Amino acid sequence: MKKSPLVVLFVTVFIDLIGFGIVLPLLPFYAESFGANALLVGLLSTSFSLMQLLFAPVWGRLSDQVGRRPVILLGLLGSSVSYLTFGLAQSLPILFLSRVFAGIAGANISTAQAYIADSTAPEQRAKSMGLIGAAYGLGFTIGPAIGGLLSQYGYATPAFFASALALVNLGAAWWLLPESLNRSGQPRLAERGLNWQRLRKGLQHPELGVFLILFFISTFAFANLEATFALMTARKFGFDARANGYLFAYIGVLITIVQGGLTGRLARRFGEKRLISAGLFCMIFGLGLLPYSYGLHSLLLVLVVLIMGHGATNPSISSLISQAASAENQGGILGVAQSLASLARIVGPVWGGFTFDAFGFQYPYLTGSLFMAAAFSLSVLAVKGKLSVPRAA
């Protein structure tokens, strides 16, 4: 395995995700400064996720034709332009335009995964794919902290910093990142576009259908939180963008600890199915109690419960999806799971913003808790073997 290109790729993806994390805690406050309500803030998040769903297969096909390196470089350039547009925005439509650009540019993460597939032997691929997860966790931790720190100089300042960071990243990748694609029979990853036929077959599978549904509900509920969390803490505690940046960094640290160290050990000891049920149970209480935290300390404690639940649930569901799929259908089914996750990140913020505006800041979390309760019941039936979906004829 060529290690040096993967190290360069890791740093490239890591810096790109720092830029994503920088603007995350600022987005609700910046949008509100232009008169946006919670629903429009949710739609801003949805526009990003929708572009990722639509353009991931486009970038994938393009990288098969022209190579991985040009597509990765183009994505970095697009990120820089999107952050610059974000910082220069003087109206809500321009802010939406910046998030559309960011979603299109950020959709090339699947190309980074293809780069890893090109550069590694099959037996090393799963381990190497962990680079993307590690880069995401670290970027999600460091980015919001930087964004929160710089927000004291105005909402545009962190965006300009993220734009410059992406531009520096582009220059470094231009000089240091080699092409990985050897067009003579390189492996291809699962397509990230939504394939309705595969989705229907996956949902009709006796075990896969349950796992796919659980994956969607869990991602949907967490997307609720991502879109409205800063608005909730501002409404309840008076936290500004800086404080929320530190809170998002805290969430990133928890995700890294739980997914990086605890989930694997707990899965080996108790099994993925029981771990999913335990994780969903934690998310019921984590989401339900979050808007009723009475101070910073209780908020941080509830977040531990919530993130432990989320960190235990999604990796375990992904593992079971992979195990339940036949060898020849691995790529397609994993692609369906990722597409469902993208759909959840599209509808989740809209639901969160709508319930926030229509009923109050507690309701994105209370309704998310109810969805988790339904998912928990589903998982218990699956563990006991009392739930099966008839196969299609």
Q: pLDDT tens digit string along 192-205?
A: 455 566 666 666 66
Residue 301 or 266, more confident: 301
What fold characterizes domain 1-176?
Growth Hormone; Chain: A; (1.20.1250)
Task: Find where tokens 């995350």 sit.
Answer: 24
Dist CA 352 CA 364 (whole Å) = 5
Give the 3-state DSSP-derived string for 235-268, with helices as H, strands as E and coil as C.
Answer: HHHCCCHHHHHHHHHHHHHHHHHHHHHHHHHHHH
Q: What is the pLDDT of residue 274?
A: 87
Give the highest mean pLDDT range of 6-20, 23-37, 125-139, 249-263. 23-37
| Confidence check: pLDDT of 187 > 60 | no
CB 193 within 8 A of CB 340: no
For residue 284 the two structure tokens come to 């019921």
Which of 147, 368, 389 lies closest to 246, judged by CA?
Answer: 147
Query: Would you say the C-alpha torsion 135, 137, 138, 143 has a positive or negative sign?
Result: positive
What 3-state DSSP class applies to 35? coil
| Confidence check: pLDDT of 346 > 60 | yes
Query: What are the residue ranges spanned by the domains of the chain?
Result: 1-176, 190-393
Q: How confident is the model at residue 289 (pLDDT cuts 50, 70, 90)?
A: very high
Dist CA 280 CA 288 (whole Å) = 12
| Confidence check: pLDDT of 1 > 90 | no
Please give the CATH number for the structural domain made up of 190-393. 1.20.1250.20
| Confidence check: pLDDT of 15 > 60 | yes
Q: What is the pLDDT of residue 390?
A: 39
Q: Report the amino acid identity of residue 103.
A: G
| Burial tier of 225 (Cβ tally within 10 Å: 0-12, 13-18, 19+) | buried
Flag the least confident range among 17-31, 203-217, 233-247, 379-393: 379-393
Average pLDDT on 204-233 reads 85
Dist CA 173 CA 74 (whole Å) = 11
Which of 75, 101, 76 lies closest to 88, judged by CA?
Answer: 101
Q: What is the largest CA-CA distance in the chain?
A: 62
| Confidence check: pLDDT of 11 > 50 | yes
Flag the least confident range among 207-221, 231-245, 259-273: 259-273
For residue 300 the two structure tokens come to 């941080």
Residue 142 or 186, more confident: 142
pLDDT, tens only, 69-110: 998 999 999 999 999 999 999 999 999 999 999 999 887 777
Average pLDDT on 156-177 reads 92
Average pLDDT on 8-28 reads 86
The radius of gyration of the chain's CA atoms, rounded to the nearest angstrom, is 20
Q: Which residues 6+ apart lie within 8 Å of 355 measured at CB?
A: 363, 364, 367
Give the end-to-end CA distance of the chain in Å, rounded to a whole number.
44
Dist CA 365 CA 377 (whole Å) = 18
Query: Are both 1-176 and 190-393 of the same fold?
Result: yes
Dist CA 262 CA 308 (whole Å) = 9
Q: How confident is the model at residue 255 (pLDDT cuts 50, 70, 90)?
A: confident
Q: How many alpha carbons lie under 13 Å from residue 236 in its C-beta half-sphere?
A: 19
Q: Which residues 6+ apart lie within 8 Å of 140 measured at CB?
A: 17, 21, 24, 248, 249, 251, 252, 255
CB 9 within 8 A of CB 128: no
Give the 3-state DSSP-derived string for 132-152, with helices as H, strands as E and coil as C.
Answer: HHHHHHHHHHHHHHHHHHHHH
In terms of residues, how long is the chain? Answer: 393
Flag the least confident range among 47-51, 92-96, 359-363: 47-51
Average pLDDT on 235-262 reads 87
For residue 301 the two structure tokens come to 């404690």
Dist CA 230 CA 222 (whole Å) = 14
Could you say which DSSP state residue 261 is in?
Answer: I
Flag the least confident range among 279-283, 329-333, 334-338: 329-333
Dist CA 241 CA 255 (whole Å) = 21
Query: What is the chain's mean pLDDT, rounded?
Result: 83
Q: How many alpha carbons lie under 13 Å from residue 113 in its C-beta half-sphere?
A: 23
**How far is Cα of residue 353 from the mean position of the Cα atoms in its chain?**
18
Average pLDDT on 230-245 reads 93
For residue 165 the two structure tokens come to 């960071």
Dist CA 293 CA 272 (whole Å) = 30
Q: What is the pLDDT of residue 25?
A: 86
What 3-state DSSP class applies to 128? helix
Q: What is the pLDDT of residue 270?
A: 82
Average pLDDT on 357-385 reads 90
Residue 384 or 25, more confident: 25
